[in-house]
Amino acid sequence: MPQHPYPQAPAESRLILDDMAATAALAARLGGLLRTGDVVALYGGLGAGKTAFARALIQSLQGPLGIEEEVPSPTFSLVQQYQIGQLSLWHFDLYRLSGPDETYELGMEEAFAAGVSLIEWPERLGPLLPADRLEIYLEFPPDAGIEECRRLVRLAGYGGWAKRMQNV
Amino acid sequence: MSARPLTILGIETSCDETAAAVVRGHPDGVREILSDLVLSQFDAHRPYGGVVPEIAARAHIMSLDGMIAAAIDQAGCGWQGLDGVAATAGPGLIGGVMVGLVTGKAIAAARNIPLIGVNHLEGHALSMRLVQPVAFPYLLLLVSGGHCQLLEVRGVGDYARLGGSLDDAAGEAFDKTAKLLGLGFPGGPAVELAAKGGNAARFALPRPMLGRAGCDFSFSGLKTAVRHMAAALPEMKDQDRADMAASFQAAVADVLVDRCRHAMAQFRDGHGALPEPVLVVAGGVAANQMLRGALAALCAQQGFTLAAPQLRLCTDNAAMIGWAGIERLALGLSDPLDISARARWPLDR
């Protein structure tokens, strides 16, 4: 396994999002910061809201440009690509994959180099996950009830994101 | 239909399956599936609790030639017997789509026969007409692992999307619910089987979008609710699993029925007094008997006829691509050899 260039603990912050609107607001703030080459890794179990977060982010970028395009779950298709103005955004969902060797065919290297990558189930990438990245962990509060919309969110910025994540 | 029989090779490589088929349409309307081959990694995937996709374009490359040769061999028509080649040109994983489409182009060029680039969704939309001559227009509910849409099928190449999922597809909700409940894979049959001995009234799961205007779906919140209710149980016993599966299935059925009811009203508004309106259900989820029963009851109540292709044609296959090719070619529609593969391709655009 290659030596990780940023083995140290990343810059971290924790938030509680009360509802979907708060989640969407965070996603939109992050969306405004994104530029070509950025990688955002979305962690969380089934139903934690990874796709909802990604959708809110993508729609926050599409909205001002008047783009009316659906943002479906990429679980089945593995990847959905969006052209939003100058930004090429790739929404990956690696749920169906079992390991890094299956990710080569998805065009991830191209996305890392020439676009913005939002990655659900980034665990599957193993050592192929770029060192310079923002990690977002979505969790249910321990006391969560049914139809619970609150989420605990942890942001971890590696590489350039250690500084940039202060603006999120 | 054209004045002579049309024999078409269909190629499907847009997702996990490598598929090739030969289909023939006769001028008198008779339709034949001469061969229908699908290479699926299904059994090998069972341990993973999800489909491990044969995503590698090179996996399609390795198997497609042999699949096509076997399909033509089984059909007994020979290369010289082909009147055209129809290949999925999208939507799907771009690497796989390109492999199928380029192979189709090569065959079309070598044999000097027309190429038809087929929208995978159009394959599903027209698949019922391969089974029986359903007349246009009809209403289509497409429910699978990757798609969940209500469409008005007005004619070949003429589709109006009435609604679709705002988040997860219905089949995806089944797969993920099965995973959450520790049931097997694939999720659809596993949930249906578990639900047989279950009490659908035990867990009050939400019915997302129910009663809202329009024909859109949403299943993401339902999945999250299953997760919460499962986590709230001290221990997941077999009866809990059965009750949860039954409750989940009932919620999906309620949502599908409600959305289809809206679509039927819209369809009626658009087409007035169609004597025998038809609702076609296609896609792997259409195999679920409980959902089928709920839709049949709705159809009976609304004066619609329910039609569904057999399961083999509901899941991804190349026969439906070949058939869409026949429908298009019979209308004089074919494509130049420089058409591009498309990762995204909404049916109504």
Whichever domain contains B48, its CATH number is 3.30.420.40
Is pLDDT at A151 greater than 70 in this prediction?
Answer: yes
Domain extent at residue B306? 138-312
B124 contact residues in A (CB cutoff 8 A): none
A19 in B contact zone (CB under 8 Å): no
Q: Flag whether B289 is in a domain.
A: yes
| In a shared domain, residues B30 and B108 | yes
> Please, are residues B234 and B288 in contact by the beta-carbon 8 Å criterion?
no
| In a shared domain, residues B85 and B177 | no
B317 in A contact zone (CB under 8 Å): no
pTM for the full model? Answer: 0.87
| Arithmetic mean of pLDDT over chain A | 88
Q: Flag whether B348 is in a domain.
A: no
B93 in A contact zone (CB under 8 Å): yes
pLDDT at position B204 is: 92
Cβ pair A78:B164 closer than 8 A:
no
B225 in A contact zone (CB under 8 Å): yes
Pick from B166, B180, B228: which is nearest to A144 by CB?
B228
Rg (CA), chain B: 21
B1 in A contact zone (CB under 8 Å): no
| In a shared domain, residues B239 and B297 | yes
| Reduced 3-state DSSP string for chain B | CCCCCEEEEEEECCCCCEEEEEEEECCCCCEEEEEEEEECCHHHHHHHCCCCCCCCHHHHHHHHHHHHHHHHHHHCCCHHHCCEEEEEEECCCHHHHHHHHHHHHHHHHHHCCCEEEEEHHHHHHHHHHHHCCCCCCEEEEEECCCCEEEEEEEECCEEEEEEEECCCCHHHHHHHHHHHCCCCCCHHHHHHHHHCCCCCCCCCCCCCCCCCCCCCECCHHHHHHHHHHHHHCCCCCHHHHHHHHHHHHHHHHHHHHHHHHHHHHHHHHHHCCCCCCEEEEECHHHHCHHHHHHHHHHHHHHCCEEECCCHHHHCCCCHHHHHHHHHHHHCCCCECCCCCCCCCCCCCC
| In a shared domain, residues B96 and B149 | no
| In a shared domain, residues B55 and B176 | no
A72 contact residues in B (CB cutoff 8 A): 164-165, 167, 169
| In a shared domain, residues B241 and B149 | yes
pLDDT at position B157 is: 95
Cβ pair A147:B228 closer than 8 A:
yes
A7-64 pLDDT, tens per residue? Answer: 556 788 999 998 889 999 999 999 999 999 999 999 999 989 999 999 999 999 999 9
Is pLDDT at B245 greater than 80 in this prediction?
Answer: yes
pLDDT at position A63 is: 93
B220 contact residues in A (CB cutoff 8 A): 47, 51-52, 73
| In a shared domain, residues B13 and B81 | yes
| Arithmetic mean of pLDDT over chain B | 90
| In a shared domain, residues B82 and B211 | no
Cβ pair A105:B55 closer than 8 A:
yes
Q: Flag whether B338 is in a domain.
A: no
When divided into structural domains, chain B yields a total of: 2
Which ipTM did the prediction report?
Answer: 0.79
pLDDT at position B55 is: 56
Query: Is B136 or B349 the better-scoring residue by pLDDT?
Result: B136
Is pLDDT at B47 greater than 50 in this prediction?
Answer: no
Closest alpha carbon within chain B to A107: B95
pLDDT at position B56 is: 56
pLDDT band at B2 (very low <50, low <70, confident <90, very high): low
Q: Flag whether B343 is in a domain.
A: no
